[in-house]
Structure 1
Amino acid sequence: MPMKRLNNITFKNRIIFIFLISTLTPFISLGFISFYTIDSIINNKVESALQSNLQQDLMMLENTLNNLNHVSQQFAYGGNTNKLFEQLGMTQEPYEKLRLVNEIRSELNNITFSNPNIGLLMYYDMDRDLYDFENFRVRGEFKPDNLPILAQYSEITYYGPYLSYNGSINQYVFSIMRKVNLPDQNLYLYIESGRNALKTLFAPQNRKESSRRLLLLDPTGRIAFSEVTDAFSVNSSFPGANPEVKSGYSGGYFWSKEVSNQGWSIVSVVPKTELTQERNRWLLQISGIFFFFLVVALVFAWLLRKMVYRPLKKFHHEINSLIHSNEKEHEEKTNIPEFDYLLYQTRDMKRKIWALYEEIEQKEKRRADLEVEKLLYQINPHFLMNTLDTVHWLAVMNGQKDIDKLVLSLNKLLFYNLGKMGETSTIGDEIEALKEYLQLQQIRYDFQFDVDIEVDEQSLGLPSPRFLLQPMVENALYHGVSDDGYIYVGVALQEDGLIITIQDNGVGMTREMIDELLNDNKEESDQVGMGIGMKYVRRILKSNYGDQSKLQIRSEPGKGTVVTLRLPVAALEAPSTSGGEPQ
């Protein structure tokens, strides 16, 4: 039923439908492909940008903490400062104490001056809960136990981020506390990052992507710092704590994570709506473009129907006029070159058809004459062979053995050679016909020649083109053999084909004569005297075997000629037919 309805759709509606489908299908397909591509590109672009910014933030933070660690190592392990602290703990002289304190402060100032990324630096006595030798004014009460721990090890602890204790700045900093290697003292070195070390890292108003927020995780996956406390609260476990997982979605945010060498992690968080914002804008744009294309496609479909359907009416009128040969020829045009050309061809076809009708009428008048001629052509060969057969019996009755032998051979040879055109024979039939031909020639010529025929018995039943061997033997006989002549005919079946060899000991040929004979140069081959027979052999080989057969001629003047045929085995194995006895 649906197929029947489809068949009832008019041509003009099919044109509109096919045009819309062919126009909109690529656009819709391209739209879907573009959507997934754009979505992938946008996600990859945002993720790559977040990952790149996160790697830069991680590098900045690691460099800052490594710098703090490097500076703390200078103070904590040996060095001049530790010696000054040991001397300060052992002396009781006020003046000496004052001198040592000034030298320690001088050492600290030198370190601070040579490391601009170092901020507040001081020593903290854990037992007395006191700090000393600070290089900047300390804001409020210093309580290291209240600081957010980023990572903790046996002799060093990383803190941050938090508001600096440095009274001269008001920004987030990171810090470390390292135990100083001094005997009988529980002394720690406290160092904060400097004013410009992390200027943009924890200042959202200075970031280009204002919606990006940062989290810091300790090595256990606990959130040590969060700029998005509503979704990721401090001291809670981060949902993507697995170090193998680099990104994901959680709480309406897309997050991307990088793990530092010390084991803590920095996480960049972006609202999920920001990732889809650009994609939604693209969908709105592509929807508008699709609507525009739909309107344009409908307009062009209507124009196409107008351009195609109207000229078809003219073709319909021209075809209907074919049945009226005397109808006046139309000259209307469609003003479309292609259709005008087809109309011209249709009108020209109309004229030719009626001319053919007239020609057929004339040929029908000659048909009877052609049938009579055909019967005559069929009767003449049978009449000739039947007449020869009568001569044969007359010769037998009168004891004329030579005439009997001659007529019998001629009759067999004519029967074989007058077989149907294109009808195949066998190698055995060819050999028998060749023997009859040679017997006729031995009676005809007044000189003696020997013929040696050697045939592989396995090849006798193989198919062969009719009248293949006689032209080559005839050439050898006419143009190569004289008294005491010798002709050898060999047929051998090999794995790669059937090899037919015809050899004589006649006058031979030059290389130029062989080339002219094989290249089908008509004028020159006629001069050689072998043109007709060899031309027939070449053409029959080409017709039956194409390029699979091979014809070669080897000859030298005064040394005879060797003609070799190579026929393909696959073609020879095809079924063949042979003619029967004459009717």
Structure 2
Amino acid sequence: MSKEGKRVQGLSLRTRIMIFFIITIVTSFIGIFIISGQIIRRVSQSRIENAYENSLSTLIAAIENIIDNMELLSQQVGFGMNIAEDITEFNSPQVDSYEKVQINQRILDRLRQLTFANVNIGLVFFEYGDEMAVSNFNINKRLDTKEEDYLFRANELWFYGPQKSLASYNGGQVLCLMREIGRLSPESENIYFGIETNYDTLENLLKIDKAGVKGLIFVNDEGNICYTDVPDLCSKGDSFADYSNDEKMVGGYRYFEKQSKLGFSIVEVVDMKLEKSMYIQDFYPIFGSLLIFVVIVALLFVLVWRNIYAPLKLFDRELDKLLEKSNPDKEEIILTGMLEYDHLLNRIDEMRQQIQAMLQEIVQRGEEKRRLEIEKLRYQINPHFLMNTLNTMHWMAVMNKQPEIDKTIQALNRLLFYNLDKDGYHTDIERELSAMGEYMLLQKVRLLDFSYEIRREPENAEFNYVIPKFILQPIIENSLIHGYRDNMNIELVVQDKNEHVEILIIDDGQGIKKEQLERIREYMEDRSGDDGRRNAHTIGIGLEYVIQSLERFYKKSRKNWGFLIENRDEGGTLVKIVVPKLHEEKENVESADC
């Protein structure tokens, strides 16, 4: 074990609880911090976006209302008041100066009637050809109708701006409408009608008094910039698409765009430092809640500490007292007053008594083991004496020229040596077959009228596969004792089946009773019993030994095996044993000993 593993195992409960508490607090704090931060950021971002979207919607609605009023006024002037005739007459060379003054005054009176009730209308003027004809205020210059300056157009109406007013009294930004009225005769010039918003109408709308707003950009219906109060970010006349991107950023600032139903758009450029400040401001309450959470968890930790660790210290002291006593059996258990800990103390006392009983049992078993070892040595002496005696009888038979007796004695000697072999409880198939040959030879001496045959398939195969020892003799013995008849024949066949080996014991004796076959079948089906201990001896000691030996041997080596016994149709019994191919040098057969 590594030093690090020893160090982790050596941590005290107090340290483990402290580490668990710190990890829980830090993990919870970080998790809540991240989740809360994401939620607050999204809420703040959504709130800011909604605020800017609403302000743009309000601005566009106000400008659309002003444009509607200007368009209505242009319709009234163009179609309802016959001002075009007055303008044409005013510019006619046949009209003298006095009449021109009268006509000009009449035109101005009509204009005042139209604009008196509309506070959003400021300058109203007429152009006759390239000349300024009439205006309700003094004009410094003519309107410069560049293509890049227009906001949008609707049929014969052109809207310009925001731009500086043409009126001398107004230096602010206005919206301007230009409309061509036309010419009344081929000899006359085209008449143009223009309207500007009042001096403070658009200024009030464009006034930036909202935190974080850097400026406004007006984009006409062709996507070109017609007005900007952030010239350091974009230039008038350029396409706005050249400055913007998919992240809605322009020049390092974020923008919000709202399109009017008339085709133009208004862009509000904002500094996202406001978003960060609002995010931090909104996060303060969450941070305070997190601190409160940490304090509550710390209090819970102290409470848990007092209810778990403190009683454990008392528990440890009581254990020390019990261990220090010379005769703990006579000591009373000191309880803690808590049901769970008192239960543990009682269980410890029971375990201590069980340990003492186990120690006494170990001592008794040690004495019994020594006694059995002595008996084992004695039992090992007797077989040696028996085998030496048989060896002496073998030479006596040779000297007296008794080959049958000699053959029988040698068979018995080899069989005893095989059965008393101390190499373990396992053997291989070849040795088991050889031992069965000796056994049937001995049985043939006793029962002269039966024959036997041991056959390998294929004939030259060697079956050096590990199996439990002494599993064939009980089956052959049952055939000779319970199924014997005169001139009986027994075949012992071993077949190689690629992945496994099949061992067949076939006889043509009396067979086995149906009741016994049924008991064997039930015994095999009940193999899930307690370690193979089913209804003992219901099938006979020999078969029970064979089945349990196979089961325990291959269960520990995790290999499949099979056992089948049935009556043959032509008479006699068939026993089939299926075993896997295990090699002693490759498989852990020692661990599979029965």
Cα displacement (A) at 1:400: 3.4
Q: Distance in 2 between matches of 1:569 and 1:172?
A: 104
Q: 1:53 to 1:487 in 2, by over 3 A?
A: farther
* DSSP 3-state at the match of 2:496: strand
* Higher alpha-carbon Rg: 2
Gaps of 5+ in 2: 80-120, 167-172, 196-203, 528-533
* DSSP 3-state at the match of 1:548: coil
User: TM-score normalised to the size of structure 1?
Assistant: 0.64
Residue 374 of structure 2 corresponds to which residue in structure 1? 372
Cα displacement (A) at 1:492: 0.8
Residue 465 of structure 2 corresponds to which residue in structure 1? 462
Residue 332 of structure 1 corresponds to which residue in structure 2? 334
Q: Distance in 1 between matches of 2:334 and 2:537?
A: 59
Q: 1:154 to 1:352 in 2, by over 3 A?
A: same
Q: Does 1:550 align with 2:565?
A: no
Q: Distance in 2 between matches of 1:438 and 1:370?
A: 34
Residue 245 of structure 1 corresponds to which residue in structure 2? 246
Q: Distance in 2 between matches of 1:501 and 1:19?
A: 65
Contact between 1:426 and 1:460, CA under 8 Å: does it hold in 2? yes
Cα displacement (A) at 1:190: 9.4
Q: Distance in 2 between matches of 1:498 and 1:179?
A: 115
Q: Describe the superposition over 1:363-410 as per-residue Cα deviations: whole angstroms up to 9, x where unpaired.
A: 566565344234334434444434433443343344333332223222
Cα displacement (A) at 1:489: 0.8
Q: 2:495 aligns with which of 486, 491, 503?
A: 491
Matched ranges for 1:522-561 at <5 A: 526=538, 531-540=543-552, 542-546=554-558, 548-553=560-565, 555-561=567-573
Q: Does 1:518 align with 2:524?
A: yes
Residue 420 of structure 2 corresponds to which residue in structure 1? 418
Residue 118 of structure 2 corresponds to which residue in structure 1? none
Cα displacement (A) at 1:451: 1.7
Contact between 1:509 and 1:556, CA under 8 Å: does it hold in 2? no
Residue 14 of structure 1 corresponds to which residue in structure 2? 15
Count of residues in correspondence between the two structures: 504
Contact between 1:222 and 1:238, CA under 8 Å: does it hold in 2? yes
Q: Distance in 2 between matches of 1:222 and 1:303?
A: 70
Aligned amino acid, residue 551 of structure 1: F
Q: Distance in 1 between matches of 2:573 and 2:452?
A: 15
Residue 170 of structure 2 corresponds to which residue in structure 1? none
Say what the alpha-carbon RMSD is for the aligned residues: 5.8
Q: Distance in 1 between matches of 2:138 and 2:345?
A: 102
Q: Describe the superposition over 1:174-220 as per-residue Cα deviations: whole angstroms up to 9, x where unpaired.
A: 9798999xxx999899999xxxxxxxxx9699x9x997775333599
Q: Distance in 2 between matches of 1:220 and 1:295?
A: 61
Q: Describe the superposition over 1:520-557 as per-residue Cα deviations: whole angstroms up to 9, x where unpaired.
A: 59669836897425423542454354452333456455
Q: Distance in 2 between matches of 1:362 and 1:261?
A: 105
Q: Distance in 2 between matches of 1:189 and 1:498?
A: 115
Q: Does 1:27 align with 2:28?
A: yes
Contact between 2:162 and 2:227, CA under 8 Å: does it hold in 1? yes
Contact between 2:129 and 2:189, CA under 8 Å: does it hold in 1? yes
Matched ranges for 1:86-105 at <5 A: none
Aligned amino acid, residue 255 of structure 2: W
Cα displacement (A) at 1:476: 4.5
Q: 1:334 to 1:321 in 2, by over 3 A?
A: closer
Residue 403 of structure 1 corresponds to which residue in structure 2? 405
Cα displacement (A) at 1:256: 4.2
Q: Distance in 2 between matches of 1:352 and 1:524?
A: 31
* DSSP 3-state at the match of 2:313: helix
Aligned amino acid, residue 515 of structure 1: R
Residue 315 of structure 1 corresponds to which residue in structure 2? 316
Gaps of 5+ in 1: 76-80, 82-118, 166-170, 193-201, 579-583
Contact between 2:436 and 2:473, CA under 8 Å: does it hold in 1? yes
Q: Does 1:501 align with 2:504?
A: yes
Contact between 1:12 and 1:309, CA under 8 Å: does it hold in 2? no
Percentage of matched positions with identical amino acids: 25
Contact between 1:15 and 1:301, CA under 8 Å: does it hold in 2? no
Residue 94 of structure 2 corresponds to which residue in structure 1? none
Q: Distance in 1 between matches of 2:446 and 2:439?
A: 11
Q: Distance in 2 between matches of 1:459 and 1:395?
A: 33
Stretch deviating more after TM superposition (44-53 or 548-557): 44-53
Matched ranges for 1:7-406 at <5 A: 14=15, 17-34=18-35, 37-38=38-39, 41-42=42-43, 45=46, 127=129, 145=144, 148-150=149-151, 159=160, 215-217=217-219, 223-226=225-228, 229=230, 235=236, 241-242=242-243, 244-248=245-249, 250=251, 253-256=253-256, 266-307=266-307, 308-326=309-327, 329-359=331-361, 368-406=370-408
Contact between 2:432 and 2:472, CA under 8 Å: does it hold in 1? yes
Aligned amino acid, residue 563 of structure 2: L
Q: Distance in 2 between matches of 1:559 and 1:56?
A: 106
* DSSP 3-state at the match of 1:416: helix
Contact between 2:468 and 2:550, CA under 8 Å: does it hold in 1? no
Aligned amino acid, residue 538 of structure 2: D
Aligned amino acid, residue 38 of structure 1: I
Cα displacement (A) at 1:27: 1.9
Q: Does 1:567 align with 2:579?
A: yes
* DSSP 3-state at the match of 1:339: helix
Residue 106 of structure 2 corresponds to which residue in structure 1? none
Q: 1:246 to 1:397 in 2, by over 3 A?
A: same
Q: Distance in 2 between matches of 1:303 and 1:274?
A: 44
* DSSP 3-state at the match of 1:289: helix
Cα displacement (A) at 1:316: 3.5
Q: Describe the superposition over 1:470-520 as per-residue Cα deviations: whole angstroms up to 9, x where unpaired.
A: 3444444545563243424122151x3333333344436768466335325
Residue 530 of structure 2 corresponds to which residue in structure 1? none
